[in-house]
Structure 1
Amino acid sequence: MRREQPPWVHEQRQTLGRRIRDLRVHRGHTQEAFAEMSNIDRRTFQRIEAGTSDPRYGDLLQIAVALRVSLDELLR
């Protein structure tokens, strides 16, 4: 059974999702094209950007590489 997470976890997921979206848009990619570039399922990528899903470490690495940023910069 999954325990409910504290509100700050949800806020941090949303902040990360906005950061990813802003970087993606700045680079001129659609969600669909970027999901394909980063080799992540489109729906999974949509949930990451929306802040409704906890991204896996491997997904974060793939997103950082596709955005040409370090993982540290992505998670700032």
Structure 2
Amino acid sequence: MPVPTHRAAFGARVRELRVERGWSQEDFAHRADLDRTYVSGIERGRRNPTLDIIYRLAGTLDVSAADLLAERA
């Protein structure tokens, strides 16, 4: 099944911010209190995170949830 465009974009934004901070997926997952495979699934657009998880990711990355969801040109 193809990955929905909005989930791929969300995952790419999470990955972009994680990499900007120099964090591995393992380090980021630990900071966010999530499993690394779950973070991987989010970044690949395979997971559909809940609103609670979106806020947890945003807090860990020190950005707003809106910033994670904003469409990029």
Q: Same fold (TM over 0.5)?
A: yes
Unaligned stretches of 5+ residues in structure 2? none
RMSD (Å), alpha carbons: 1.6
Unaligned stretches of 5+ residues in structure 1? none
Count how many residue pairs are aligned between Structure 1 and Structure 2. 70
- Higher-Rg structure is 1
Mapped to 2, the partners of 1:29 and 1:37 lie a distance apart of 10
Alignment of 1:1-76 (within 5 A): 10-76=4-70
AA matched with 1:37: R
1:30-49 residue CA offsets vs partner (Å, 9 max, x unmatched): 00000010111111111000
- Identity among equivalent positions (%) equals 39
Mapped to 1, the partners of 2:50 and 2:59 lie a distance apart of 14
TM-score (norm 1): 0.85
TM-score (norm 2): 0.88
